Structure 1
């Protein structure tokens, strides 16, 4: 009898550089790992290989400079003042983007911060403080002076940064900070609005455009090369970018789906198995201590093979076992699994199986396995993910 279900393995790789043959490197290191005396494993049809987005972006040389961002800002944004709404509070995820935008705006930059937290849960006001003192505010929209008088300053507990001060002091003469949760509040400061939100960007754009604003979002910056060596992403622009150094950002990789397909084909040549592949970034999970969502990328997976489309179709094993009726729990479970191809996904048999996309689930598993530190495992091999209790 089979005793092990899903297994996720981080695969160590050498440090790769620009223009490396990543398909060959990943295949070679996977095969070496499978034959390792310490951790032998076999490849099977239905296995999954995840490759972190940062690895693909590095091989592509997909980097943009602050001047690239400033140049795009001058191209996309008319002269005069600009409102910039709902950025996340982050030095590595948004700080560099903001520096580049400020460098290209020719008037003032009015930054509208959502409160008590940004889109992914970084606080700008401590929740208890907010609920106890919010009644002292003059209005739902307020400035930095009132923010400090009512709530005091807030220092991020993990980074030790006062993000309100950090963003304003990038250019104290031209940057003003405001607090509000209605995107239309941006129009009180300027007719041109840069939407810096990630997951709600389409909604915010639509609301502002219907109000007559000139709107541009950060996924419209750096979408095409305008000089040799410039990083760009035609789909996501600056979304998914990350700090590289004080003058440069790494962008989300391009052509991730094409890479995933090429890697799948080469893995089939070398292993004879149909292995699914995805490129993954941030996982879609929330830290229960600080309340911050990990997902600062626009998607968990920017590219994947066809076998990872859609959502899992599974029964809720414990529900079936607890409601077996005249059958034994074992018999009821086995019968339900055999019949699941005919079941309605809204039936009681699926109760509690939260509907999530396969790429979000698998990409999150990959992100948790590889981490973002010094494990040196930017490739993840997953076996048994699609198996059920009946599979031997």
Structure 2
């Protein structure tokens, strides 16, 4: 019978993962059980996606606020710390800020505006135009910001992040000043010791600071890059990708992930005879059209994946072929012509007219978005995602 279904994505339920659990065995067992119960078969080039959170939980990759504070104290001593370009997030940054505050004497927080780097807005850009404020040149104090824009709560969370972040620092008796600028060097008018808290632009920020006389500069990937008093750590990403676990701690991005995906792939091969691709995923990197949030607070979409997921799609646009190359054909003749074109397409179609309108992003970024939307961020209970038919095309 002709196949009439393309890509199929399933959220897979598994037990609640705790520290010390065998994440590889749980992943394989959960998917094999789902296949048995739901009646599907494991095939070559199926994809297993595992959310980073359960991997970090199994690793016990946690840290307390005191451990963050100690690392900050070791790096900055008694200096006033300039915190540059943090994202606006209760889950992602609030506990990090509290940890920094516990290790500081004074903090100056410099927020980018009208939004942070992932799209959380402090103020609407049209309001900047109305007030004659230029975010590329104008530096605002907290009072100037309030005079122009008043008190604005975040669209989704209902939080005024200016007051919220200031209150987190003040609860430890630490002096806190907030300013607004999009130029990294602005902070050097307040302190020469800076912690760059941006995610994807951190190297540029540090480069500008070093070119303008900073004396001490670190980024979040350099905080808890090594264990402090037995804490979790991440050599590559430090605190980047971490989020709130308890009121007094954070869960870090998982570390040493490549052996995990390779072991899971090997286990599936041994149990099913099929070569399954495996990846660990975090935020999916898609943009919300209403809130304008670019959903990528993790440093990467996928910290580890098997080799079959390397690269980008090599696809042609079916409607272009139908409207141009084969516009004189219809029915089965058209179908056959398109199938033949696909079967004989070149291995690298970048820049060709037939690919216009396709999505040549990294496979892991595309599959990460698909997985993130499937698993959700709440109580679905499906931290594993099983994808079939992703690499099929019209000829299969």
Q: Same fold (TM over 0.5)?
A: yes
CA distance in 1, matches of 2:20, 2:134: 57
- Retained in 2: the 8 A contact 1:283–1:360? yes
CA distance in 2, matches of 1:336, 1:131: 51
Q: Using the TM superposition, give the Cα deviation of residue 125 of structure 1 relative to its aligned residue in structure 2, in angstroms.
A: 1.0
Q: Using the TM superposition, give the Cα deviation of residue 178 of structure 1 relative to its aligned residue in structure 2, in angstroms.
A: 0.2
CA distance in 1, matches of 2:306, 2:375: 20
Query: Which residue of structure 1 aligns with residue 169 of structure 2?
Result: 171
Q: Using the TM superposition, give the Cα deviation of residue 344 of structure 1 relative to its aligned residue in structure 2, in angstroms.
A: 3.2
- Retained in 2: the 8 A contact 1:126–1:154? no
CA distance in 1, matches of 2:166, 2:279: 39
SS at match of 2:381: coil
Seen in structure 2, the aligned counterparts of structure 1 residues 330 and 367 have a Cα distance that, compared at 3 Å, is same
Query: Which residue of structure 1 aligns with residue 394 of structure 2?
Result: 389
Query: Which residue of structure 2 aligns with residue 60 of structure 1?
Result: 59
CA distance in 1, matches of 2:177, 2:327: 69
CA distance in 1, matches of 2:23, 2:122: 41
Q: Using the TM superposition, give the Cα deviation of residue 103 of structure 1 relative to its aligned residue in structure 2, in angstroms.
A: 1.2
SS at match of 2:386: strand
Show CA shifts across 1:120-177 (max 9, x none): 111111333222113499x601100010011111111211111001111223451110
- Retained in 2: the 8 A contact 1:219–1:235? yes
Q: Using the TM superposition, give the Cα deviation of residue 17 of structure 1 relative to its aligned residue in structure 2, in angstroms.
A: 1.2
Query: Which residue of structure 2 aligns with residue 250 of structure 1?
Result: 251
CA distance in 2, matches of 1:136, 1:98: 28
Query: Which residue of structure 2 aligns with residue 115 of structure 1?
Result: 113
The runs of 5 or more residues in structure 1 that have no matched partner are: none
Query: Which residue of structure 1 aligns with residue 17 of structure 2?
Result: 16
SS at match of 1:25: helix
CA distance in 1, matches of 2:348, 2:271: 37
Query: Which residue of structure 2 aligns with residue 126 of structure 1?
Result: 124
Show CA shifts across 1:175-228 (max 9, x none): 110000111111111111110001111111111122231210001011112333
Query: Which residue of structure 2 aligns with residue 156 of structure 1?
Result: 154
The runs of 5 or more residues in structure 2 that have no matched partner are: none
Seen in structure 2, the aligned counterparts of structure 1 residues 342 and 263 have a Cα distance that, compared at 3 Å, is closer
SS at match of 1:89: coil
CA distance in 1, matches of 2:275, 2:336: 32
Query: Which residue of structure 1 aligns with residue 30 of structure 2?
Result: 29
- Retained in 2: the 8 A contact 1:320–1:332? no
How many residues align? The count is: 386
- Retained in 2: the 8 A contact 1:78–1:192? no
After TM superposition, the structure 1 = structure 2 runs for residues 228-307 of structure 1, keeping only pairs within 5 Å, are 228=230, 230-307=231-308
Note if 1:81 corresponds to 2:105: no
- Retained in 2: the 8 A contact 1:70–1:103? yes
- TM-score, normalised with respect to structure 1: 0.95
CA distance in 1, matches of 2:364, 2:147: 45
CA distance in 1, matches of 2:372, 2:228: 33
- TM-score, normalised with respect to structure 2: 0.94
SS at match of 1:35: helix
Query: Which residue of structure 2 aligns with residue 185 of structure 1?
Result: 186
Query: Which residue of structure 2 aligns with residue 227 of structure 1?
Result: 229
Q: Using the TM superposition, give the Cα deviation of residue 325 of structure 1 relative to its aligned residue in structure 2, in angstroms.
A: 4.4
SS at match of 2:168: coil
- Retained in 2: the 8 A contact 1:27–1:267? yes
